[in-house]
A and B are shown apart, each in its own frame.
Chain A
Amino acid sequence: MRGAFFRGLMDLAVRDDRIYLLVGDLGFGVAEPFLQKFPERFLNVGVAEQNMTGLATGIALTGKVVFTYSIANFPILRCLEQVRNDVCYHKANVKIVSIGGGYSYGALGMSHHATEDLAILRTLPQMTVVAPGDPVEAEAATGAVAGHEGPCYLRLGRAGEAVVHRAQVRFQIGKAIRVREGDAGTLISTGAMLRTTVDVADVLRQRGIALRVLSMHTIKPLDTEAVLAAALETRAIVTIEEHSVSGGLGGAVAECLAESGKLVIPFKRLGIPTGFSAPPGTQEYLRELCGLSPAGILQELEPLLERVLAPSFSTPIA
Chain B
Amino acid sequence: MTETERVRANTSRRSSELLANRLRRRVLAMICRAKSSHIGSVFSTIDLLAVLYDKILRVDPSCPQWSDRDRFILSKGHGCAGLYAALAERGFFPQSWLEEFFANGGRLAGHATHWGVPGVEASTGSLGHGLSIASGIALAGKRDKLSYRVFAMLSDGECDEGSTWEAALFAPHHRLDNLVSIIDYNKIQSFGRVDEVLKLDPLAAKWESFGWAVREIDGHDHGQIEQALQTVPLAEGKPTCIIANTVKGKGVSFMEDQVLWHYRCPDTNEQRLAFAELERS
Give the residues from 88 to 147 in chain A that come closer than 8 angstroms, CB to CB, to chain B: 89-90
How close is B33's CB to chain A, nearest CB, in angstroms? 26
Q: Are A58 and B133 in contact (CB under 8 A)?
A: yes
**Partner-binding segment picked from A48-56, A165-173, A185-193:** A48-56
Across the interface, B162 reaches (CB within 8 A) one of A41, A50, A55, A62, namely A50
Contact in complex: B134, A90 (CB < 8 Å): no
Q: Is there an interface contact between B170 and A45, defined as CB atoms closer than 8 Å? A: yes
Q: Which residues of B contact A (CB under 8 A)?
A: 67, 114, 121-126, 128-129, 131-141, 143-144, 162-163, 166-167, 169-170, 174
Inter-chain CA distance A45–B141, complex, in Å, is: 17
Question: A169 → chain B, closest Cβ, in Å?
Answer: 34
* New contact pairs (4) apart from A61-B121, A82-B129, A86-B132, CB-CB < 8 Å: A43-B174, A54-B136, A58-B135, A61-B136
In contact, A62 and B132 (Cβ under 8 angstroms) = no
Tally of contacts, chain A with chain B, CB under 8 A: 89
Instruction: Rank and list the top 8 A-B pairs by shortest CB-CB distance, nearest first.
Output: A58-B136, A54-B132, A51-B166, A55-B136, A48-B166, A50-B163, A62-B140, A58-B137
Q: Which of A48, A58, A82, A86 has most B Cβ within 10 Å?
A: A58
Residues in A lying within 8 Å of B, measured CB to CB: 40-41, 43, 45-46, 48, 50-51, 53-64, 81-82, 85-86, 89-90
For the complex, what is the distance from the CA of A86 to the CA of B167, rounded to whole Å? 15
B274 → chain A, closest Cβ, in Å?
32
Chain B: CB-nearest residue to A64: B140
Q: Is the CB of A50 within 8 A of B136?
A: no
Could you say which of A43, A53, A62, A81 contacts B141, with CB atoms under 8 Å apart? A62
Considering only CB atoms, which chain A residue lies closest to B137 in the complex? A58
Interface SS of chain B: helix
Inter-subunit contact A61/B170 (CB<8 Å): no
Q: Which residue of B lies closest to A51 (CB)?
A: B166
A43 to B135, CA, bound (A): 13
Q: Is A43's CB under 8 angstroms from B139's CB?
A: yes
- Residues of chain B with a CB closer than 8 A to A85's CB: 123-126, 129
- Chain B minimum-CB-distance residue to A43: B139
**B126–A53 touching, CB < 8 Å:** no
Contact of A51 with B139 at beta-carbon distance under 8 Å, contacts A86-B133, A89-B123 already known: no
Set A46, A59, A86: member contacting B139, Cβ < 8 A: A59
Q: List 17 A-B contacts (CB under 8 A).
A: A46-B166, A48-B166, A51-B169, A51-B170, A54-B133, A54-B136, A55-B167, A58-B122, A58-B132, A58-B136, A58-B140, A59-B137, A62-B140, A82-B129, A85-B129, A86-B133, A90-B114
Q: Which residues of B contact A40 (CB under 8 A)?
A: 143
Q: Which residues of B contact A43 (CB under 8 A)?
A: 139, 174
Known: A40-B143, A51-B163, A54-B167. Contact between A59 and B123, CB under 8 A?
no
CB distance from B85 to the nearest CB of A (A): 23
